[in-house]
Amino acid sequence: MPLEEIKLNIKRPEINYSIFIEDGILGKIKNYLPNASKYFLLTHKHLYDLYGEKIITPLQNVLGVKTHFLPDGEKAKSWDNSREILESMLHFQMDRKAVVIALGGGVIGDMAGFVSSIYQRGVDFIQIPTSLLAMVDSSVGGKTAVNLGGYGKNLIGAFHQPKLVLIDPLVLDSLPELEWKNGLAEILKYSFLREDNGEFYEYLDNAPQPSKGGALKEFIQVSVQTKADIVKQDETEKTGKRALLNLGHTFGHVLETASEYQISHGLAVSIGIRLAAELSFKLKLINLEVKNKIIDLLKKYDLPIKIPTINKTQGDFQSEKLIDLFMHDKKVENNKINFVLPVGHLSHCEVVEFNDKEVLKEILSLCF
Ligand SMILES: NC(=O)c1ccc[n+]([C@@H]2O[C@H](COP(=O)([O-])OP(=O)(O)OC[C@H]3O[C@@H](n4cnc5c(N)ncnc54)[C@H](O)[C@@H]3O)[C@@H](O)[C@H]2O)c1
């Protein structure tokens, strides 16, 4: 007689990996890389010219290494390119003991993570983030994704944690100014949600303006620690804890989309954090002092709290249009929009459902 219910109880091994943050760590990479049958490096040509040799040279004599270049920019994070990479991995005859190395910003990291998650049902990959945003955000936490045509960003992907993350703050020397700001916005975001009674906020508020070298190391360390602490409580965004990392992102995505991506992600998040603080204040979830402190920190780091003048002519920024975009966001459930809002004090956020369109229009008008 067949049983009606068969239970399969698989105890998944604990996911455990190290994140090393050290000036010059790229020069010592061989000490850190795990053994592998082959290495497959995914990067951009211009980053390879700057840093690729440091990775390739120590490996070349020992093992098979192949480099695959991805064009620069968000458009390259495509389904078609992932197929091309997978074919390149197959031609290279990688087996399941081969390791993929991502050298680049979030585009490279997301793409390398995605192909690693599906190549022969999953191979290990290593993140070597080179943009500030990738260092403090996308390289940690195991979200991988590609974009599929016009369906929106990051809709195809998998949770696939890296085996190792190596962060060398010295590579930030070559990072363009705008990318620097995109990363700073995410760093400030952590200070508004990390449940430390405002300690990181005070640190950032009193710190001298960071330069691209070592002064930034502490900023990166605290940010990565914050992300790691949150991810380990809710790896696959089931309990709402990981969703807190979306502070500023609900408003931000709408502004990014309305500007046809002329407003960069980090700058949109910065404006989005300001709007989240305004909504929170309107709903009496925070007082005026907390709202002003949030806005003051964004201003201190020269991040926008309104749509920059240069972008105003490039998109459609009417409140009505923006409300429509909200309703199509991934975070909308049963017509309710989930906002991450600061609540109570400075370093605490909660997910709050809200859909009063008139109030939203009023809040949005503050950033025009
Ligand atoms: N997986 C996640 O958890 C997660 C989180 C946040 C963002 N993301 C994704 O990350 C992507 C954005 O990442 P990003 O901001 O790093 O963009 P990006 O990867 O496009 O890098 C930004 C630009 O900086 C250049 N660059 C990177 N490092 C450099 C360096 N050291 N010197 C000179 N130039 C350098 C890149 O070539 C690129 O032109 C988006 O696709 C987003 O969806 C993923």
Question: Mind listing the pLDDT tens digit for each residue in 68-111?
Answer: 999 999 999 999 999 999 999 999 999 999 999 999 999 999 99
- Please tell me which residue in 194, 227, 274, 291 is annotated as part of the active site: 227
Residues whose beta carbon lies within 6 Å of some atom of ligand 1: 44, 47, 72, 74, 77, 104-108, 110, 130-131, 133-134, 137-138, 141, 143, 153-154, 171-172, 174-175, 179, 182
Please give the pLDDT value at position 12.
Answer: 81
Active site residue 121: yes
Select from 43, 94, 31 the least CA-distant residue to 64: 94
**pTM as predicted:** 0.95
DSSP string, 22-70: -TTGGGGGGGTPPP-SEEEEEE-HHHIIIIIHHHHHHHHTTSEEEEEE-
Give the separation between CA 284 and CA 350, rounded to whole angstroms: 14
- Residue 287's region, left for phi above 0, alpha for psi from -120 to 50, else beta, is beta
> Which helix (H) or strand (E) element contains residue 94?
none
User: β-strand 336-342 against 332-333: which pairing, if any?
Assistant: antiparallel
Q: Does the pLDDT at position 2 exceed 70?
A: no
Average pLDDT over every residue of 241-258: 94
Distance 158 CA to ligand 1 centre (A): 18
Please give the pLDDT value at position 142.
Answer: 97
Average pLDDT over every residue of 257-277: 93
Helix, strand or coil for residue 259?
A: coil
Percent of the chain with pLDDT over 90: 76
Q: Does the pLDDT at position 54 exceed 70?
A: yes
Please give the pLDDT value at position 335.
Answer: 76
Please give the pLDDT value at position 331.
Answer: 63
Distance 333 CA to ligand 1 centre (A): 29
Among 54, 115, 133, residue to substitute to test ligand 1 (most atoms within 8 Å of Cβ): 133
Distance 17 CA to ligand 1 centre (A): 22
State the Cα angle at 296 between 295 and 302, rounded to 5°.
95
Please give the pLDDT value at position 72.
Answer: 97
Please give the pLDDT value at position 330.
Answer: 62
| Strand partners for 129 | 104
- Please tell me which residue in 195, 199, 235, 237 is annotated as part of the active site: 237
Q: Whose CA is nearest to atom 37 of ligand 1?
A: 72
How many other CB atoms are there within 10 angstroms of residue 224's CB atom?
Answer: 22
For 39, residues 6+ apart whose C-beta sits below 8 A from its C-beta are 33, 59, 63, 64, 65, 66, 98, 99, 100, 101
Question: 38 and 94 in contact (C-beta within 8 Å)?
Answer: yes
Please give the pLDDT value at position 73.
Answer: 94
Q: Whose CA is nearest to atom 10 of ligand 1?
A: 106
Q: Does the pLDDT at position 213 exceed 80?
A: no
Distance 327 CA to ligand 1 centre (A): 27
Please give the pLDDT value at position 212.
Answer: 63
Q: Does the pLDDT at position 248 exceed 90?
A: yes
Distance 257 CA to ligand 1 centre (A): 18
Q: Whose CA is nearest to atom 33 of ligand 1?
A: 175
Active site residue 284: no
Active site residue 44: no
Calculate the alpha carbon distances from 260 to 83, 100, 123, 138 in Å.
26, 32, 35, 22
Active site residue 249: yes
Angle between helices 265-282 and 249-258 (to 10 degrees): 130
